[in-house]
C-alpha cells in the first residue's frame, strides 16, 4: 500500500505567469535515455539540469566554458517522464548569491508544462589554475543579480533596495526568459 507523505509535492502544471519567472531551454532526450519501463532513466535527470545550467551560465556570463563546480544538488522526483511528453524544458532562476556561490532553483517540465522534477543546486565559481574556489567577478555577479531582481518580482524582502536598470537591460533579460507556449495540452 502506497502512502503519500504530507510534504510531498503534488504534480502541477505551470501557469503562463509562473513560466515567465524563469529562464528556460529545451532538452531533447535520446530514445536510449528511456529504460525498459518506458520512462526517463534516473541518470538523465542530473544531466538535463547540467545541460540547462551550462546554457544559462554561458549566456549570462558571456563565455563558452563557465568555470564552476557543483557544491550541492538535491532533486525531488514528482512524476515519471515518458518519451511521448518530450521535448523537456529546464527552467532556471537564481535564488541566492554569495561571495563565490550562486544557488539556483531548477524545474524539469514536460511539453505540457507539467512539473516532473525540481532541483536546488549550489554552484561555486572555480579557478582552474589554482584548483579552488574564487570570487564571482562583477561580470558574473551582475547578470545573476539582475535575474534575481527581475525573476523574483523586485519586492522580495531579501532583494534589498531596488537597483536602477535601463529599460534595455530589463527587456534584454525578459527576452531570454521562458515564455508561455501556445500549444494545447494533450489529454
Parallel/antiparallel/unpaired status of strands 115-127 and 132-133: antiparallel
Q: Which residues have CB under 8 Å from 22's CB, separation 6+?
A: 91, 92, 93, 107, 151, 177, 178
For position 20, what pLDDT does the model report? 62
pLDDT in tens, 60-108: 999 999 999 999 999 999 888 888 888 999 999 999 999 999 999 999 9
Cell of 80: 515519471
Q: What is the pLDDT of residue 112?
A: 86
Q: How do the pLDDT tens digits run along the chain, 187 residues long?
A: 344 444 444 435 555 455 567 888 999 989 888 989 888 888 999 999 999 999 999 999 999 999 999 999 999 998 888 888 889 999 999 999 999 999 999 999 998 888 899 899 999 999 999 999 999 999 999 999 999 888 764 333 333 333 444 445 445 444 444 443 333 343 3
Residue 18 has what pLDDT? Answer: 57
Q: Domain 16-175 in CATH: superfamily?
A: Hotdog Thioesterase (3.10.129.10)
Does an H or E element contain 108, and which?
Answer: strand 101-109
pLDDT at 71: 97
Contact 143, 102 (CB under 8 A): no
Question: Are the CB atoms for 118 and 81 separated by under 8 Å?
Answer: no
Query: Cell triple for residue 5?
Result: 507523505
Asked if 28 and 182 count as a contact pair (C-beta separation under 8 A), the reply is no
Amino acid at each position: 500500500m502506497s502512502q503519500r507523505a504530507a510534504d510531498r509535492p503534488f504534480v502541477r502544471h505551470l501557469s503562463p505567469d509562473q513560466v515567465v519567472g524563469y529562464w528556460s531551454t529545451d532538452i531533447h532526450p535520446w530514445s536510449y535515455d528511456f529504460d525498459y519501463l518506458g520512462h526517463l532513466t534516473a541518470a538523465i535527470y542530473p544531466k538535463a539540469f547540467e545541460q540547462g545550467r551550462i546554457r544559462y551560465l554561458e549566456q549570462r556570463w558571456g563565455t563558452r566554458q563557465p568555470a564552476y563546480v557543483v557544491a550541492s544538488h538535491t532533486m525531488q522526483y514528482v512524476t515519471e517522464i515518458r518519451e511521448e511528453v518530450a521535448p523537456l524544458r529546464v527552467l532556471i532562476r537564481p535564488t541566492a548569491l554569495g561571495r563565490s556561490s550562486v544557488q539556483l532553483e531548477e524545474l524539469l517540465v514536460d511539453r505540457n508544462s507539467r512539473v516532473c522534477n525540481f532541483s536546488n543546486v549550489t554552484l561555486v565559481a572555480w579557478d582552474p589554475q589554482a584548483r579552488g574556489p574564487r570570487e564571482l567577478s562583477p561580470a558574473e555577479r551582475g547578470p545573476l543579480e539582475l535575474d534575481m531582481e527581475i525573476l523574483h518580482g523586485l519586492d522580495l524582502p531579501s532583494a534589498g533596495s531596488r537597483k536602477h536598470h535601463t529599460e534595455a537591460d530589463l527587456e534584454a533579460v525578459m527576452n531570454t526568459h521562458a515564455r508561455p507556449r501556445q500549444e494545447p495540452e494533450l489529454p
